[in-house]
Homo-oligomer: A and B are copies of this chain.
Amino acid sequence: MSNNLSDEYIYKQILKSIVEHQLPPGARLPEDKLSEAFGRSRTSIRKVLQRLALERIVTIAPNKGAQVSRPSEQEAKEVLNSRIMLEPLLIPEVLKRWSNTNSKHFRQMVKAEKQAEKEEDQASLIQLTAQFHYELAHFSGNSVMAEFIEQLCYRSSLIIAAFGSRHSVSCDCGDHLVLIELLDKGEVQRAEKWMRDHLTHIKSSLKLTISDDQKINFQQLFSTMD
């Protein structure tokens, strides 16, 4: 493989492989193998692995090295619950800045998603789905929040790798187009609700042990729906 690659490039490359499920949870990441693959010394690789560890994408055990994180069920719930709380919260700000250009940009992205779906290119589909969410967050104008959400999106991909069912991914797509249309029409509350439901749906598609957290609420289940 070619030489003299920046740390940032190596970081993105490894992250991408994990997010796209090429490197499954638990996969060992030996420093000298990576060192050889990227043609850089172990020093650079360690730096990248430590960064990924801080972001919880990778887990480093003392004297045992790095492996792709195996998120716990607890962590899975917390990450998804965080997204359910935060992403709808940013919708009003996104809408304030919403323009025709944005709309076109995101429609283009949905097109790419559908293309990946048709070609059964799981890797691209996962990556695009996450990208849709964090790019939207970035349009809120609050980059501090957006970067946090971006990390949660990467962690979600890992969580889907660990707890997702066969169709978790494609099913998830649930058509981001609907959201765009709501934003075009300026329907704040419906857009917020869509986002909440969308993420809740992803969460419930995970094969997590049932707990208090997701006891069936018959009241809600059989209430009149819109």
Contacts and interface: CB of A to CB of B under 8 A. Distances in A.
Copies assembled: 2
Interface string A42-74: 000001001100100000000000000000000
A144 B47 contact: no
A145 interface: yes
Interface in A14-58: 47, 50-51, 54
B82 A145 contact: yes
Contacts of A135: none
Interface string A86-100: 100100000000000
A142 B142 CA distance: 22
A35 B78 CA distance: 38
A79 B144 contact: yes
Interface residues of A, number: 18
Contact of A78 (B51, B81, B144, B152): B144
A148 interface: yes
A89 B79 CA distance: 15
Given A54-B51, A75-B144, A89 B85 contact: yes
Contacts of A148: 82, 148
A63 to B, nearest CB: 14
22 contacts: A47-B50, A50-B50, A50-B51, A51-B54, A54-B54, A75-B144, A78-B142, A78-B143, A78-B144, A78-B145, A79-B144, A81-B142, A82-B142, A82-B144, A82-B145, A82-B148, A85-B89, A85-B145, A86-B86, A89-B89, A144-B152, A148-B148
